[in-house]
Amino acid sequence: MARTRIQAAERPVGEIFSDAYRFSVPRYQRPYAWTVEQAGEMLDDLLTAARCAHNLEDSDPYFLGSVVLVKEEGVADAEVVDGQQRLTTLIMLLSVVRQFLPASFAASLNRRIFQEGDPIKGTMDQPRLTLKDRDQSFFEKQILDGEGVSALEKVATAGLTDSQRNLVLNARLFRDRFAQLSADECRRLVSFVDGYTYLVVVATQDFDSAYRIFTVLNERGLNLTHSDILKSEIIGQVPSDAQDAYTATWEGEEEALGRREFAELFAHIRMVYAKTKARETILKEFRAAVLSRVPDPRVFVSNVLVPYSDAFKAVSRASYQAEEDAEAVNDLLRSLNLLDNTDWIPPAISFFSRHGGDQATTLAFIRNLDRLASSMHIRRVDVTQRVERYGRVLRAVERGEDLTHPDSPLQLDDDERSQTLNLLDGEIYTVVRLRLYVLLRLDSTLSSGGANYEHPFITVEHVLPQNPKADSDWRALFTDEERAYWVHRLANLLLLTRRKNSEASNRSFDEKKSGYFTGRSGASPFPLTSQVLHQPKWTPEVLQQRQGELLSHLKDLWRL
């Protein structure tokens, strides 16, 4: 029996997108799923790395992760087992930046994007990356083709699949960001990506071994965390006669939080002190930002670790305790913990560790933090801008500034309020990472604290279907234009405690109310859904009124 060979090597992007590889995404893979947040973070990181050295040739290599392939040695065909999101976003970046570069650079980039055809052999140019069948023609036409990229603004996202919508929105993001850069900056970025940005390519000849490699690379074992290493360094500096006591304190905090959350705590403490996005390892930055300012290990344990650990426990578990306003604070903390990021936690634990005993001030702070965090989530503010804003909030907390002043970084300005409200009034369903959050917050507002959200499943469903049948009553009630306008807006959405049923989704309004929208009890646990059940009919006029009412609730919730 032949032994399976595994090859692993670092390859610069310029070599990745060459005749050595012809990538294809197999059918079993999930569709392209990166959103503007992940794509924007990749671009930010690449731009930062590209600017580090004065001369490009002095740049340090930048590691972008790994890809796992099923590939025969000496054969270009490569099936992507892991790394689809990264490869797709990279080639999209190269495709979009062509518009902002001279013809010679653009021609060179074309050779990274397409394998050139051979007129003698009668072969056409072929994309170096082929997505799943249902997305490939769209990918070629709208993303890889130069004319398609130029026409991105004309692409209507309403009828697209989630993966196609992500492709369009990420390409638009890249286009808008490159438009803000000079031609020299674009050229430098392309050269840095091509020659100084590396992927580790792991290749083997069969799927089973490739999948085993993927599993091992992504498996979470109990390796040493940065908190373990810091514990050794810090406790090791405590005088021997006091080490047992400080070790017990340290381990008590770790046990109270749990190993995973305790490791996360150190990243949050780093942010409290550094107030900037991490560029190096947490370990390296923690030493530079925190331990350089608190060199005494006993002071660190007593004045930093313990208060921040206690604050983090209250924040992450919504377990704030006080004689007054505790439940109001914890309701807001539960809502903040629904967000798809934890960047809001450092300002929260910084404030709690300083002012947590002041109940009225704490409630006001958390209300304002929830408003800011929710607005940035709704506006899809990228991680770099988000961290920069929270860094300013941390400085304001540290300096004891008036956080209620209109100019405070904790407050929204007129433009931010307007943008937030306009987005809430838009096609909220099409933003996958936003729709459930907004509807849960809205439902909680309607419930006045009486709703329970501890269900195995909570899904967002349409009342007016996305694609009603040609002979459906829905076609008579709504014109095509009215359906296209209303189908993805707040007024037409509700919450269910079950998985979505595509067949039931297309039923008439009365049929949906009598079974699909309710449980066995004939009722719904969600006030938002109960409102729909009490509607005798579902028309454009009902939606218009409902949209205004729901927006009014959100406007009051976040003071927009």
Lowest mean pLDDT among 177-191, 225-239, 355-369, 377-391: 225-239
* Max mean pLDDT range (23-37, 130-144, 546-560): 546-560
Position 448 in a domain: yes
State how far the Cα of 124 lies from the Cα of 115, in Å rounded to an integer. 9
* 506, 467 contact by CB (below 8 A): yes
What pLDDT score was predicted for residue 356?
78
State how far the Cα of 403 lies from the Cα of 517, in Å rounded to an integer. 43
Lowest mean pLDDT among 128-137, 344-353, 388-397, 480-489: 128-137
State how far the Cα of 163 lies from the Cα of 160, in Å rounded to an integer. 8
* 11, 199 contact by CB (below 8 A): yes
State how far the Cα of 184 lies from the Cα of 112, in Å rounded to an integer. 20
- Provide the sign of the torsion angle of the four alpha carbons 365, 370, 373, 375, taken in this order: negative
pLDDT in tens, 406-416: 999 999 999 99
| Residue 324 pLDDT class (50, 70, 90 cuts) | confident
348 and 480 within one domain: no
Distances in Å between the Cα of 234 and the Cα atoms of 224, 227, 346, 349 are 15, 10, 22, 22
What pLDDT score was predicted for residue 119?
75
Q: Which of 218, 242, 276 is the last residue of a domain?
A: 218
Position 61 in a domain: yes
pLDDT of 347 over the 90 cut = yes
- State phi, psi for 40 to the nearest 5 degrees: -65, -35
Distance of CA 200 to the CA centre of its chain: 24
102 and 65 within one domain: yes
Position 94 in a domain: yes
What pLDDT score was predicted for residue 220?
39
What pLDDT score was predicted for residue 540?
94
Kindly give the pairing relationship between strand 126-127 and strand 6-12. unpaired
More confident position, 2 or 541: 541
- Write out the residue range of the structural domain in which residue 285 sits: 226-423
243 and 200 within one domain: no
| Residue 515 pLDDT class (50, 70, 90 cuts) | confident
Once rounded to an integer, what is the mean pLDDT over residues 125-131?
90
pTM of the model as a whole: 0.71
- CA distance from start to end of the chain: 69
What pLDDT score was predicted for residue 147?
77
pLDDT in tens, 179-228: 999 999 999 999 999 999 999 998 888 777 776 776 666 543 344 577 88
189 and 162 within one domain: yes
Distance of CA 411 to the CA centre of its chain: 23
pLDDT of 448 over the 80 cut = no
What pLDDT score was predicted for residue 133?
77
Once rounded to an integer, what is the mean pLDDT over residues 335-348?
96
| Residue 315 pLDDT class (50, 70, 90 cuts) | very high
What share of the chain in percent tops pLDDT 70? 93
Position 1 in a domain: no
State how far the Cα of 102 lies from the Cα of 93, in Å rounded to an integer. 16
Structural domains counted in the chain: 3
3-state secondary structure 87-150: HHHHHHHHHHHHHHCCHHHHHHHHHHHEECCCCCCCCCCEECEECCHHHHHHHHHHHHCHHHHH
113 and 136 within one domain: yes
CB count in 10 Å sphere of residue 232: 11
pLDDT in tens, 132-162: 877 888 899 888 887 767 778 788 777 788 8
State how far the Cα of 517 lies from the Cα of 494, in Å rounded to an integer. 9
How many Å is the Cα radius of gyration of the chain?
27
258 and 186 within one domain: no
Those residues with Cβ within 8 angstroms of residue 71's Cβ, 6 or more apart along the chain or in another chain: 21, 77, 78, 79, 203, 204, 205
What share of the chain in percent tops pLDDT 90? 55
More confident position, 2 or 459: 459
460 and 325 within one domain: no
Provide the 8-state DSSP code for 279. Answer: -
Cα-based angle 350, 353, 356 (whole degrees, multiple of 5): 110
203 and 117 within one domain: yes
173 and 29 within one domain: yes
* 90, 23 contact by CB (below 8 A): no
Distances in Å between the Cα of 214 and the Cα atoms of 68, 91, 200, 217, 276 are 7, 22, 13, 5, 32
* 429, 462 contact by CB (below 8 A): yes
What pLDDT score was predicted for residue 216?
64
Q: Record the tokens describing residue 379, joined without a space.
A: 């506006």
Q: Which of 403, 423, 443 is the last residue of a domain?
A: 423
Position 319 in a domain: yes
Q: Which of 423, 453, 484 is the last residue of a domain?
A: 423
* 75, 158 contact by CB (below 8 A): no
Position 242 in a domain: yes
State how far the Cα of 286 lies from the Cα of 36, in Å rounded to an integer. 29
Cα-based angle 285, 287, 291 (whole degrees, multiple of 5): 130
| Residue 502 pLDDT class (50, 70, 90 cuts) | low
11 and 64 within one domain: yes
175 and 77 within one domain: yes
CB hemisphere CA count around 203 (13 angstroms): 19
What pLDDT score was predicted for residue 423?
96
534 and 454 within one domain: yes
Q: At which residue do the structure tokens 């009902």 appear?
A: 542
